[in-house]
A and B are shown apart, each in its own frame.
Chain A
Amino acid sequence: SAVISQKPSRDICQRGTSLTIQCQVDSQVTMMFWYRQQPGQSLTLIATANQGSEATYESGFVIDKFPISRPNLTFSTLTVSNMSPEDSSIYLCSLGEQGEGYTFGSGTRLTVV
């Protein structure tokens, strides 16, 4: 199965700033997903990112707050913009191909102060 390298693993950021999270995959994949896991909560889908098209955002998430880049089939970024303490979460990228194995990155633990 594919291997994902997600960076950074953790960060502490000042409110009002932005953080860009990167996911690099060791093979080409069509579909990538970005999830948020708030403290003590389950995973919530932020958006689906397919190469060559705009990301599709779930209800409650908007592009201005969480812009996503998918320049090729092995790379994607998620930016958390104008951060507030409520954005403190673990952010994870994931791959999925037609319902088969879904691989997850190791996650980015974000703390906004």
Chain B
Amino acid sequence: AQSVAQPEDQVNVAEGNPLTVKCTYSVSGNPYLFWYVQYPNRGLQFLLKYITGDNLVKGSYGFEAEFNKSQTSFHLKKPSALVSDSALYFCAVRDSDSNSGYALNFGKGTSLLVTP
């Protein structure tokens, strides 16, 4: 079985400050990990992914995430938040073992609010 946990319903941060959106996962094999962002009345936009290789992954719009196998985490980070980063963020996982299926399993989402 595979699952994703996003422990925070909402994260508030002041513009210019660093932000972190937390994600932990559970898979039986090796994880394929993803972050997506959803703006109001919009579809899902891909931010970044971890499949293999370097634990620090850099993605779109200045976001990055660090894969930590021992803590089974994949937290999303940005050094300096912008008001325009305010949106709903989803972490998703897929087990590398294809017997678990190929579809992504999503966390519940974290609403990020960046205040001026």
Interface residues of A (CB under 8 A from B): 6, 31, 33, 41-45, 48, 92, 94, 96, 98-107, 109
Contact = CB atoms under 8 A, between A and B. Distances in A.
B94 A99 contact: yes
Nearest 6 CB-CB pairs, A to B? A106-B43, A99-B32, A104-B44, A43-B106, A107-B43, A42-B108
B22 to A, nearest CB: 15
Interface size of B as a range: 20 to 34
Contact of A96 (B43, B104, B108): B104
A107 B41 CA distance: 9
B51 A99 contact: yes
Contact of B109 (A42, A94, A106): A42
Contact of A106 (B36, B42, B101, B106): B42
A34 to B, nearest CB: 9
B102 A31 contact: yes
Interface in B1-49: 32, 34, 36, 41-44, 46, 49
